[in-house]
Amino acid sequence: MMRIDCVVRGANRLGESPVWSVREQRLYWVDSRAPAVFRLDPATGVVEDLSLPSIVGSIGLRRGGGLVAALQTGLHLLDFDSRRLDFVADPEAHLPENRFNDGRCDRRGRFWSGTMNDARREPTGSLYRLDPDFTVARIRDDVIVPNSICWSPDDTVMYFADTYREQMMAYTFHPDTGELSGLRPFADDRQGPGRPDGSTVDAEGFLWNAKFGGGRVVRYDPKGRVDRILDLPVSQPSSCVFGGPDLRTLYVTSATQRLDDAQLAAQPLAGGLFAADVGVAGLPEPEFAG
């Protein structure tokens, strides 16, 4: 059995979007519903937090320091230390029920994030790309709950999942232009427990996906075949990322939302941050170049 540690017993309502800063040797993640951003120093165990003014779906590192943050009120730049939040753009100001959800930076310094209807599960969401010059491009629509945004090590594949459609997809990715083509199924495990939430890709090109409601993280090979299953002591893992000095620690966020009293009693670590050495290294987290 692989050892899985709960390194922060945070009881996040909706822990999400973990990102590891190689420069700082710290882990950032969010509680979307708090809403807040957290920062962990694994060397000391110290956790800092920063409250935000609206629901936060995802964050990304920024090359110049700080973070890019996707809130319900739009895309922002965030300096965790000074607590400064600078507005960039809100492409869905006309859709008050929508909010940003999963997001990640590509290796050319763009930040990608998708939106979802937070009031009802209707396909009113879209996928957006924020370029380093702060222009925003709408890439696709007809999204219910966007998740699993990440890239293959060679930058030829971009992964994407619409959680409530319960299928993980792959695009052909064109890194020079940031364009997508050739949408195709990647992995369809609707017979398994849980739905696809956040993902990360390791140095071997295998994708790790958190199964929300399924109590597990699944590792897929580049052809979409299940390679390994990491069972967790909580039912709602939400996302994952590799971190640590050698990028060999898999960090997994989780959630307590919609769990009743009996479920919470049975899962005292729900909403916590977990860590495991899974025997493979990850890749450095890309940073926003704007």
State the Cα–Cα distance between residues 102 and 90, nearest whole angstrom. 16
The amino acid occupying position 225 is: R
State the Cα–Cα distance between residues 151 and 142, nearest whole angstrom. 21
The amino acid occupying position 278 is: V
Q: Is 231 a catalytic residue?
A: no
Contact 37, 50 (CB under 8 A): yes
Q: Where are the beta strands (DSSP E) in 192-286?
A: 195-201, 207-212, 216-220, 226-231, 237-243, 249-254, 273-277
Q: Among 188, 197, 202, 231, which one carries the catalytic annotation?
A: 197
> Under 8 Å CB-to-CB from 179, ≥6 apart: which residues?
none
Cβ neighbourhood burial of 78 (10 Å; 0-12, 13-18, 19+) = buried
Spatial CA neighbour of 165 closest among 125, 128, 202: 125
3-state class of 275 per DSSP?
strand
Structure tokens at 167: 């299928």
Compute the CA torsion angle 276, 277, 282, 288 (nearest 10 deg). Answer: 40
3-state class of 265 per DSSP?
helix
| Active site amino acids | 197
